[in-house]
Structure 1
Amino acid sequence: MAEKLKGKSIMKVTNGQSSKVNASEHLKNKVVALYFSAHWCPPCRSFTPVLKDFYEEVGDKDFEVIFVSFDRSEADLATYLNEAHGDWCYLPFGDPLIRELSELYNVQGIPALVVINPSGEVVTNNGRAEVMGQMSIPPSEVLKKWKADCGI
């Protein structure tokens, strides 16, 4: 898990309800995908349901998404979460980690799905393309590859 997340609290959605979780405990031994996205971004709104289907198919035992919002307001973030997102984690609106993670992982545009290993090193900057390619590669195989690349 990325050093930047150690000891931090992040939000976890479960059955539509948000609660704080300890990032270190919750992300232990999981492949983590940082999802940089925003409600105002049409390509993001197209990709989010695809990622949600992927997430629901592979489950959250070995995999977790952290939504890193580029939304312009807390209300936009809440609307986007409620309308389209899966039961995954997110950073609260305005959290300083949003900027830190986007700079650390050199996010140049959204949507971006950056898959990281437990040390926070990038496994792929191209997670979006790999998830979108699930029509030819089953989600379970994509996750299996990411787990192997992460040493999990």
Structure 2
Amino acid sequence: MSEKLAGVQLVLSDGSKVDAGEHLKDKLVALYFSASWCPPCQRFTPLLKRFYEEARAAGKDIEVIFVSRDREEEALVEYYKEHMGKWAYIEFGNEKIQELLKEYEVKTIPSLKVIKPDGTVLVQDARTEVQERGDKSAEELCEEWEAFAF
């Protein structure tokens, strides 16, 4: 994914901006398509945040990129700041959002896709895997994904 998003600016949790290509290099990347107005997203986001924090605490180099379907920048930023993990997001209005929606055939939200460095899909429905991981820890699930990502 680092190759595919090279040149795109990501916003980090502290408000700073970084080049996605550099920031995502050698990381396991998940694209999180979501929006503040979406009730299923509001239910899934806390699960993803917990998963992300657990994976990072276990030393996993995973990065979630929030790809917002919000209709206003204020809604995106508020939803991100109040409910999301310390991952990054693509700025409101960036043309890359529409490209990603089309390329990864995102028809409904929330949608979570784990993407290989070259931009191909590794896990089409990572949302279900995170939601229904049973007795697997976040670390174990990330290790399964990593085995096929690099």
TM-score range, shorter chain: over 0.9
1:37 counterpart = 2:37: no
Take 1:78 and 1:135, find their aligned partners in 2: how far apart are those partners?
32
The answer on whether the counterparts of 1:12 and 1:87 sit within 8 Å (CA) in structure 2 is: yes
d(CA) in 2 for partners of 1:81, 1:144: 27
| 1:77 matched residue in structure 2 | 76
SS of 1:55's equivalent in the other structure is helix
CA separation of 1:113/1:86 partners in 2, compared to 1, >3 Å: closer, same or farther? same
Q: What is the one-letter code of the residue matched to 2:61?
A: D
Name the stretch that deviates more: 24-33 or 55-64. 55-64
Q: Which residue of 2 aligns with 1:128?
A: 127
Task: Give the alignment's TM-score, normalised by structure 2.
Answer: 0.94
Instruction: State the match for 1:51 in structure 2.
Output: 48
Answer yes or no: is the 8 Å Cα contact 1:36–1:112 preserved in 2.
Answer: yes
Distance 1:61 1:149 in 2: 15
Aligned residues: 148
Task: State the SS of the aligned residue for 2:108.
Answer: coil
Q: CA RMSD in A?
A: 1.3
After superposition, where does 1:69-148 map in structure 2 within 5 Å?
Answer: 69-148=68-147
Whole-angstrom distance in 2 between the partners of 1:113 and 1:35: 5
Larger mean CA deviation between 121-130 and 133-142 belongs to 133-142
Matching residue's letter, 2:92: F
* AA matched with 1:70: R
- Percentage identity across paired residues of the two chains: 49
Q: Secondary structure at the match of 1:5?
A: coil
Q: Structure 1 residues 29, 2: CA separation in 2 closer, same or farther (over 3 Å shift)?
A: closer
Distance in 2 (CA, whole Å) between partners of 1:96 and 1:124 is 24
Secondary structure of the corresponding residue to residue 117 of structure 2: coil
5+ residue gaps, structure 1: none
TM-score, reference length from structure 1: 0.93
